[in-house]
Amino acid sequence: MNSNQGLHSNKDSLRRLKIAVPLFNERIAPHFGASSKVMLVEIKGGSVFQRTVRELGPGGAMDIARQLLNLKVGRLICGGIQRGCKEWLIHKGVSVLDNQKGSVKDLIENLIL
């Protein structure tokens, strides 16, 4: 899938996509690894299917990245992220959309538009 196609291609409408967003209160955390709390958003057929908040526990950015893989996350949307951690996630098949900011609620609404 071309990254310019967004979430609305025919392939995406037939599968689920699990997205992780590190949280700082109700906002996207300014840096991946600074928060062990993430919102997991499952998209199915272009709509939000499920959303949960999960505490991943103590640890650094790589510990959190490993946990996201175990949770079968397909996309990470975050603020800043260390280059090595970003490259590792991409190598493992997770798409990373970094340097994002703002409210998680607004982000989710924009995902399904």
> 94 and 74 in contact (C-beta within 8 Å)?
yes
CATH topology of domain 3-111: Nucleotidyltransferase; domain 5 (3.30.420)
pLDDT string in tens for the chain (113-residue length)? 333 334 444 444 457 899 999 999 999 999 998 888 999 999 888 788 899 999 998 889 999 999 999 999 999 999 999 999 999 999 999 999 999 999 998 988 887 65
- Map out the domains of the chain as residue ranges: 3-111
What lies within 8 Å, CB to CB, of 79 at 6+ separation is 22, 28, 29, 30, 31, 32, 98, 99, 100, 101
Q: What local confidence, expressed as pLDDT, does residue 3 receive?
A: 37
**pTM for this predicted structure:** 0.83
